[in-house]
Structure 1
């Protein structure tokens, strides 16, 4: 880009829409009042109260403000939960592919991530093999991680799957850690069930969510953990020594996000659904891309194994070629998987419909170039 290249990036894991004005204005008012000091580690009470209101109104979650910790983003929340429960040699089951923070935090703390590959079918999409998951549980298993809606595949795992995951966690006395950061990015009325909808859910599950995606507040670094009070007390001891507290004036802005006008967020999500339709339609025309229409988040995760075999390339070589020759950025599946990523690529549709079409046209051109090069050899 420094050389003036027109780069089209499908790599971004954040909305391209600015934070809504009323949220920014709330932060300004907070700054004008000089609300710039430390807060309590769990977060200001007003924000925890607003989070509880949101969860209780939407999911009937029966959450109290004292069962919430506000964190510096969902990634910090992931670390705090894992650090609170994992000791060296303990195991965390990660549904693969996955956001890298789950396995990396586990390894950093001396734990062992165990990867369960999702099954893929072009018609059915990505599904969890529950029998295989249950067989992976050992005496050292402490946590099963569920990310729903799912990054990088865009899958929304149906309620019956979440039902069974809760039962498995109960049977084996393990924690179901549910990362629901994309819970408002759900398309085509796909059925979605939060773990917080179950009676007594806090006995077995821990919920993570945040403000980055729904309110386009990625740089504000605000997430939260919801769990029973005893677990919260345990995690507060980690949180206070990791980040002290989330940014004070950002917390007040987050109150406005939850209690204020949701119209900008709803419009953004409608926009992303239209983009989802465009990227699916365009990728479906690309030779060698096996594409399933995602139901949530803002990613699409096509299988490209047949194409890679034909071109005699690895997924990393293919991605590098797109960057070098066509100035298109997509991510290899290996960025999200240690066991199955070599067959997939991830594209974020956090760019305009026009740029989506142009970017995929460049991908088609790159494939034609590569096929021509192969024929000449």
Structure 2
């Protein structure tokens, strides 16, 4: 017998788990990706990952650290040198002064989100999440016993996304504990205007709520140098947690390194959360992360320039499809597009995979509000973007 998952007793094993664990949803991105993951002919645009390798200067920093013996446990908050480098990085790009004792190094952005949920939520607490949304956010909330409350983005006839603050406020109840902001947004590309950030800050201050700001894609903007951060308008005492990752800016998805920023006075709490989640991330990876922060601004610019070119190619090419509705995203590196009329997102994603050999994420992977859309990751070479356009238009333009 070469498969473990056979027989009714294995199929029913989930009944032994807690109801909370039984409720974890299967990712539709994974469903599509598993169908074509091993096919070398597929243009893979389903995962939020660029096609460049990690820069050599980062790899070499990790290698030097390993050879120097930096292979033992580190403090759960992260190496002091890394937290100092994070402070310098934020001062350089956003003009804010964040001391090292407000940073915690995490096992990627996902672990940063999980630790934030663990810190803030009691079972039954509600967390408002603009939707369509990165699916991992809602599942982290469910795993910790919270209740995700989706607030749909508004979409105009040109496919542009917006999110009036009044819509967020209307979703608040006596059970609301946290409001999530992902700006620039995965998957919509929406960027929250700074005046609306100030209004949201004032709202949560008045209501005694928290903001969980996922600022992973801040550098990936196309009409401004960088996206604004809540750190620029909040004090060290505001109820704000910011999550981020090394994955996107420096092509380090497999390194599993991220960070979060918390209010003053919570270092001990996040030290314990880090200890009981991962103990620490690998020490040599932290040395590589220092190199990324200190030497990697040029690589970020290269990444953004490539994304801007691939973005333009996809928008120009796919907009020619009859019935397509595609608006240029303000930020991040995803195109959330309506390519055809009246075809379910999952069915379209599977058809593109099977017949055009292009892998995209169905819009419903990001919540029911994503129905009718597919998401394409354009952190790719211009040549690959042109090939994706050729294949998709060849199938859907008939």
* Structure 1 length-normalised TM: 0.91
- Stretch of structure 1 that moved more, 88-97 or 352-361: 352-361
- 2:383 paired residue number: 354
In structure 1, the residue matched to 2:277 is: 242
Distance 1:4 1:44, change over 3 A: closer
The question of 1:273 aligning with 2:318 is answered no
Paired residue for 1:140? 175
What is the match of residue 371 of structure 2? 342
- Deviation by residue 1:101-138 (Cα, 9 ceiling, x = unmatched): 21101111221100000011255821112112112111
Deviations 1:159-184, CA, capped at 9 Å, x for gaps: 12212221221121111111111111
Residue 363 of structure 2 corresponds to residue 363 of structure 1: no
| Separation in 1, partners of 2:389, 2:130 | 29
**Alignment equivalent of 1:206, drawn from 237, 241, 245:** 241
Find the partner of 2:156 among 102, 121, 145: 121
CA change 1:168–1:348 in 2 (3 A) is: same
The match for 1:324 among 346, 350, 354 is 354
Cα-Cα RMSD? 1.8
1:172-220 deviations in whole A, cap 9, x for unaligned? 1111111111111111227731001014154121111121111111111
CA contact (8 A) 2:159 2:337 kept: no
Q: Alpha carbons of 1:221 and 1:328: their partners in 2 closer, same or farther (altered >3 Å)? A: same
Taking a change above 3 Å as real, the CA distance of residues 367 and 261 of structure 1, as seen in their structure-2 partners, is closer
Counterpart of 1:23?
58
**Offset, 1:358:** 2.1
Q: How does 1:191-340 map to 2 (within 5 A)?
A: 192-200=227-235, 202-304=237-339, 307-309=340-342, 313-337=343-367, 339-340=368-369
Contact conserved, 1:177 with 1:205, CA < 8 A, in 2? yes
Tell me if the contact between 1:61 and 1:198 (Cα under 8 Å) persists in the aligned partners: no
Q: Distance in 2 between matches of 1:53 and 1:114?
A: 35
* Shift in alpha-carbon separation, 1:215–1:3, aligned structure 2, 3 A: closer
Tell me whether 216-225 or 181-190 shows the greater mean CA deviation. Answer: 181-190
| Cα distance change, pair 124–317 in 1 and its aligned pair in 2 (3 A) | closer
Unmatched 5+ stretches in structure 2: 1-35
Q: After alignment, is 131-140 or 175-184 more displaced?
A: 131-140
1:294/1:300 contact within 8 Å kept? yes
SS in 2 for 1:185: coil
Write the distance in 1 (CA, Å) between the matches of 2:167 and 2:38.
Answer: 50
C-alpha distance in 1, partners of 2:396/2:228? 40
Compare 251-260 and 225-234 and name the one that shifted more. Answer: 225-234
Change (3 A) 1:162 1:367: same
Structure 1 284/231 Cα, relative in aligned 2: closer, same or farther at 3 Å? Answer: same
| Residue 192 of structure 2: aligned partner | 157
Aligned residues: 363
Structure 2: distance between partners of 1:29 and 1:109: 38
The equivalent residue for 1:64 is 99
Report if the CA contact (8 A) 1:301-1:344 is conserved: yes
TM (norm. structure 2) is 0.87
Checking the alignment, whether the CA contact within 8 Å between 2:219 and 2:226 is kept in structure 1 is no
Pairwise CA distance, 1:365? 2.5
Please say if residues 106 and 260 of structure 2, whose CA atoms lie closer than 8 Å, have aligned partners that are also in contact. Answer: yes
1:12 alignment partner in structure 2: 47
After superposition, the Cα gap between the structure-2 partners of 1:4 and 1:343, relative to the gap in structure 1 and judged at 3 Å, is: closer
Distance (Å, rounded) in 1 between the aligned partners of 2:237 and 2:333: 29
